[in-house]
Amino acid sequence: MANDETTNPKSWRVRTRAVRGGLNRTGFHETSEALFMTSGYVYDSALEAEHSFDGTLDRMVYSRFKNPTVETFERRLAEIEGAAACRATASGMAAVHAALMCQLKAGDRIVASRALFGSCQWIINELCPKFGIEREFVDGADLAAWERALAKPTTCVFIETPANPTLEIIDIAAVAALTHKAGGRLVVDNVFATPMLQSPLALGADVVVYSATKHIDGQGRCLGGAVLSDSTFCQDVLGPYLRNTGPALSPFNAWLLLKGLETLDLRVERHCANALRVARFLEGRPEVARVLYPGLESHPQHALAARQMRGWGSIVAFELKGGKAAAYGLLDGLDLIDISNNLGDAKSLITHPWTTTHQRLSPEDKLAMGIGEGLLRLSVGIEDADDLIEDLERGLTV
Ligand SMILES: Cc1ncc(COP(=O)(O)O)c(C=O)c1O
């Protein structure tokens, strides 16, 4: 079944779609989604096998191509996002890699925002040139820089907004318009916002990618990823790339991610409420040089975030006046918040990007992205905000 063939009423609102979207019950009438742990499928005859491969029959042939549980996850996420189609992948990086490389070839040009997650930056900065793809990085918040970079024909533009870990906000509608003038597609990594807080396709983007490992699972259990776009891109451009390179999502992980989608809205609501309280607390502390959170009036793109997001998200970044020593002092002084490079989890997690997620970048590249040695990225969980604030108070005063 194609992703956009759903039997759900079109009138369902997003919260209903998150719980029931894409559900296709088997003859056992189960309440929860069925888990099809199978790598392959069998045929009643040789002719049926032949017709399954020549396209006469639309059916499952191999779980690298399609699996019923994975397809339920794809349909549900597509319904939440408002996308015509979705393809799931084994991780967020598999989604980013496939979404970019399936459409790029030697001689093409990609333009990306400078502030990116380390592995996304690696794909564009290191991998693309190896295949003869020209790349250019732009200061994401500078619209004049986008106009200059997109004055030349460009195949693809990649942005993260809010960006990891600097929480920079990029004007999706404006960059989409410039990308289309340059003849390209805009790919948005929507990990920090989640489908609950931002809809890049509705703002003009062409492709959305997720690390489903983050808020979609949100409970530290599994890796996963997804690419959402129109049916032509998913079937004709991305489809053959996934089928033949094989970054398929495990059916078990798809099942976990379906359960994650059911509670995503509730969790994101609590994440956002807690993060705003934590950000305001940090802003009032003398040890903190600056707090980066789109919900704070002090955030440089607060007004833009209010326009294009429906909430401020779960991630707060903050710079300590005492640099790396102060950052390590805080990390080691925490009792409740865990030191971890993951994010979007129910548990609050904190990391030092300079030495972890962005370690492999040169000091110059890190500084150009806005990552200093005193910067910490806090993924605020869904615990009681008072306990989180008490823990940060403890860490700041050691
Ligand atoms: C913004 C962003 N994009 C992509 C990824 C990659 O996701 P995964 O770890 O699931 O491969 C991450 C992971 O941290 C991320 O933060």
The alpha carbon of 14 and the centre of ligand 1 are apart by a number of angstroms equal to 24
CATH of the domain at 388: 3.90.1150.10
Alpha-helical runs (H) found in the chain: 14-20, 46-54, 68-81, 92-101, 118-122, 128-130, 143-149, 172-181, 194-197, 231-232, 239-245, 251-283, 302-308, 323-333, 363-369, 385-396
pLDDT confidence of residue 238 = 98
Tens of pLDDT, residue by residue over 238-293, are: 999 999 999 999 999 999 999 999 999 999 999 999 999 999 999 999 999 999 99
Whether residue 187 has its Cβ less than 6 Å from ligand 1: no
Closest atom of ligand 1 to 357 CA is: 14
Query: Same domain, yes or no, for 81 and 149?
Result: yes
Tens of pLDDT, residue by residue over 121-136, are: 999 999 999 999 999 9
Closest atom of ligand 1 to 93 CA is: 11
Classify strands 338-339 and 349-351 as parallel, antiparallel or unpaired.
Answer: parallel
pTM for the full model?
Answer: 0.96
Query: Same domain, yes or no, for 207 and 354?
Result: no
Residue 173 structural domain:
14-260
Query: Same domain, yes or no, for 350 and 240?
Result: no
pLDDT confidence of residue 331 = 98
Query: Same domain, yes or no, for 35 and 118?
Result: yes
Asked whether residue 341 is domain-assigned, the answer is yes
The pLDDT of 342-366, averaged and rounded, is 94
* Number of domains present in the structure of the chain: 2
Query: Same domain, yes or no, for 384 and 251?
Result: no
Question: Cβ(316)–Cβ(378) under 8 Å?
Answer: yes
Q: Which residues contact 369 (CB under 8 A, 6 or more apart)?
A: 114, 115, 116, 166, 358, 361
Query: Same domain, yes or no, for 231 and 318?
Result: no
pLDDT confidence of residue 109 = 98
* Local confidence band at 10 (pLDDT 50, 70, 90 cut-offs): confident
Whether residue 93 has its Cβ less than 6 Å from ligand 1: yes
* Local confidence band at 398 (pLDDT 50, 70, 90 cut-offs): confident
Q: Which of 92, 94, 79, 110 has its CA nearest to residue 5? A: 79
Asked whether residue 236 is domain-assigned, the answer is yes
pLDDT over 90 at 170, yes or no: yes
* Residue at which a domain ends, from 221, 240, 260: 260
The alpha carbon of 43 and the centre of ligand 1 are apart by a number of angstroms equal to 38
Whether residue 211 has its Cβ less than 6 Å from ligand 1: yes
Average per-residue pLDDT in the chain? 96
Asked whether residue 30 is domain-assigned, the answer is yes
pLDDT confidence of residue 53 = 93
The pLDDT of 231-237, averaged and rounded, is 98
pLDDT confidence of residue 233 = 98
Which of 100, 116, 164, 214 for a ligand 1 pocket mutation test, highest count of atoms within 8 Å of Cβ? Answer: 214
The alpha carbon of 92 and the centre of ligand 1 are apart by a number of angstroms equal to 5
Which of 89, 91, 93 for a ligand 1 pocket mutation test, highest count of atoms within 8 Å of Cβ? Answer: 93
Which residue's alpha carbon is at the smallest distance from atom 7 of ligand 1?
92
Whether residue 213 has its Cβ less than 6 Å from ligand 1: yes
* Local confidence band at 6 (pLDDT 50, 70, 90 cut-offs): low
pLDDT confidence of residue 8 = 76
Tens of pLDDT, residue by residue over 313-341, are: 999 999 999 999 999 999 999 999 999 99
The alpha carbon of 100 and the centre of ligand 1 are apart by a number of angstroms equal to 15
Classify strands 185-189 and 225-229 as parallel, antiparallel or unpaired.
Answer: unpaired
Provide the percentage of residues in the chain whose pLDDT is more than 70. Answer: 98
Closest atom of ligand 1 to 223 CA is: 10
Q: Which of 35, 9, 11 has its CA nearest to residue 22? A: 9
* Residue at which a domain ends, from 223, 241, 260: 260
Tens of pLDDT, residue by residue over 134-167, are: 999 999 999 999 999 999 999 999 999 999 999 9
Residue given tokens 């903050």 in the structure block: 318
Question: Cβ(111)–Cβ(152) under 8 Å?
Answer: no
Tens of pLDDT, residue by residue over 65-107, are: 999 999 999 999 999 999 999 999 999 999 999 999 999 999 9
Asked whether residue 5 is domain-assigned, the answer is no
Query: Same domain, yes or no, for 90 and 200?
Result: yes
Asked whether residue 316 is domain-assigned, the answer is yes
Query: Same domain, yes or no, for 71 and 93?
Result: yes
Asked whether residue 19 is domain-assigned, the answer is yes
* Local confidence band at 5 (pLDDT 50, 70, 90 cut-offs): very low
The alpha carbon of 248 and the centre of ligand 1 are apart by a number of angstroms equal to 16
Asked whether residue 6 is domain-assigned, the answer is no
Question: How far apart are the C-alpha atoms of 280 and 45, rounded to whole Å?
Answer: 66
Query: Same domain, yes or no, for 304 and 254?
Result: no
Query: Same domain, yes or no, for 144 and 222?
Result: yes
Asked whether residue 7 is domain-assigned, the answer is no
Query: Same domain, yes or no, for 231 and 180?
Result: yes
Closest atom of ligand 1 to 191 CA is: 1
pLDDT confidence of residue 7 = 63
CATH of the domain at 84: 3.40.640.10
* Local confidence band at 369 (pLDDT 50, 70, 90 cut-offs): confident
Which residue's alpha carbon is at the smallest distance from atom 8 of ligand 1?
92
pLDDT confidence of residue 4 = 42
pLDDT over 80 at 3, yes or no: no
Q: Which of 234, 270, 301 has its CA nearest to residue 89? A: 234
Tens of pLDDT, residue by residue over 283-316, are: 999 999 999 999 999 999 999 999 999 999 999 9
* Residue at which a domain ends, from 213, 242, 260: 260
Whether residue 189 has its Cβ less than 6 Å from ligand 1: yes
Asked if the peptide bond before residue 363 counts as cis, ω within 30 degrees of 0, the response is: no
Query: Same domain, yes or no, for 339 and 303?
Result: yes
